[in-house]
Amino acid sequence: MGHDGAGTPDSGSDMRAMTYSAFGGPEVLAETRQPRPKVAPGEILVRVRCAAVNPVDWKIMAGGLKDLMDTVFPVVPGWDVAGVVEQVGIDAPEFAVGDEVVAYARKDYVHGGTFAEFVTVPVRALARRPASLTWDQAAGLPLAGLTAYQVLTRLGTGPGDTVLIHGAAGGVGSLGVQIARALGARVIGTASSANHDRLRELGAEPAAYGEGVVERVRALAPDGVDVVTDFVGGVLDTTLAVLREGGRHASIADNSVIGAGGSGCGYGRTAPTWPSWGLSPTRGS
């Protein structure tokens, strides 16, 4: 199948990359030379402009997911990337060389990540870089944004819903506020008082977390909220105290919600069309 402007760099050349060859802390990381990845059918080779760091990166490096995912050393860490299409694989006509893209580049096993000059990404995991975002902002969007997006859409969030977001000023939460608003919902967000102005800018009604949070949320939503998303963990009692009868709730940090009628959600899998939403990653991204 033809592919417009497909590049043909030497797949045998190498690249600079941050790698580790054993589980551990930051001390196991080193800059090394690695083979440039081969571009399989349905894949795109991205020249990395910016790669974001997420908590899952250091957890994987410490061996926290070794019982869930196979690891092939040396590992290039990183799942988030913003960059430019360098080469288009066979049967990948959706993109052309030179396109600016963002991607959630998680593979089925731990090996070739985004902390390198180049990374291969399946077409299904790529999206156009939003023109309104810098490279740094765009790189902070995929994992956090997809996590928030999947939680909210799996809960059927839409017009007429009142949504409570626990941890609304964090990386996932701040994107969740914007996505919920784009889906037509009213949003109440918990955060420290120092972040309340920022939440208002994003379109949420802030409520300070801690003692008395149930009363503060109930003051804003006397009949309870329709949807609760937990992005911090340890707040199930608060969730159940403010959720109206028949409401929906989920957590990315507390699997005990499953036993209380909620959903446990993890990391995103595919990329929606970010540009149409005009999302703004924040300090926590």
Hey, what amino acid is at 50?
C
Q: pLDDT band for position 263 (50/70/90)? A: confident
Q: Taking the model in full, what pTM does it have?
A: 0.86
Domain range list for the chain? 14-140, 143-276
Q: Which two tokens stand for residue 274?
A: 């970010």
pLDDT at residue 223 tops 90: yes
Q: pLDDT band for position 250 (50/70/90)? A: very high
User: pLDDT tens across 106-116, in order?
Assistant: 999 999 999 99
Task: Give 88-123 as a DSSP string.
Answer: E-TT-TT--TT-EEEEE---SSEEE-SSBSEEEEEG
pLDDT at residue 282 tops 60: no
β-bridge partners, 39: none
- In the CATH hierarchy, which fold is given to the domain comprising 14-140? Quinone Oxidoreductase; Chain A, domain 1 (3.90.180)
How much of the chain, in percent, has pLDDT values that exceed 70? 89
Q: Which two tokens stand for residue 35?
A: 């083979």
User: Distance between CA atoms of 72 and 75, rounded to whole angstroms?
Assistant: 6
Residue 172 gets the label, from left (phi > 0), alpha (psi -120 to 50) or beta, of: alpha
| pLDDT (mean) for 168-181 | 97
DSSP-based three-state secondary structure for 220: helix
The CATH class that applies to domain 143-276 reads alpha beta
pLDDT at residue 266 tops 70: no
